[in-house]
Amino acid sequence: MSVSLEGIESDQYGRYVIPYKSKILEKEVFLTIPTDNGKIEEWQLTLANQFCEREESLKEIVYKSILAHYLNVADELRLRFGEKYQHLVPPVENVAQLKELLTPTGVYIGELEPTEEAIGLLFECTWEEEHGLGVLINNWVIKEVSHQDVAFTI
Give the residue-averaged pLDDT of 33-59: 91
**Residue 37: per-residue pLDDT:** 83
Confidence of residue 154 (pLDDT cuts 50, 70, 90): low
The helix (H) or strand (E) run that includes residue 55 is helix 42-81
Distance between start and end Cα atoms, the chain: 24
**Greater pLDDT, 108 or 86:** 108
Average pLDDT over residues 124-141: 94
Which burial class, exposed, middle or buried, applies to 91 when counting CB atoms under 10 A from its CB (0-12, 13-18, 19+)? exposed
Confidence band, pLDDT 50/70/90 cuts, at residue 100: very high
C-beta separation of 150 from 120 below 8 A:
yes
105 vs 7: which has the higher pLDDT: 105
Identify whether the C-beta of residue 34 lies closer than 8 Å to the C-beta of residue 12.
Answer: no
pLDDT higher than 80, residue 153 = no
- Report the pLDDT value the prediction gives residue 79, as an integer from 0 to 100: 87
Q: Tell me the pTM.
A: 0.91
Considering only CA atoms, which of 44, 36, 55 is closest in space to residue 18?
44
The answer to whether residues 105 and 125 touch, using CB atoms and an 8 Å cutoff, is no
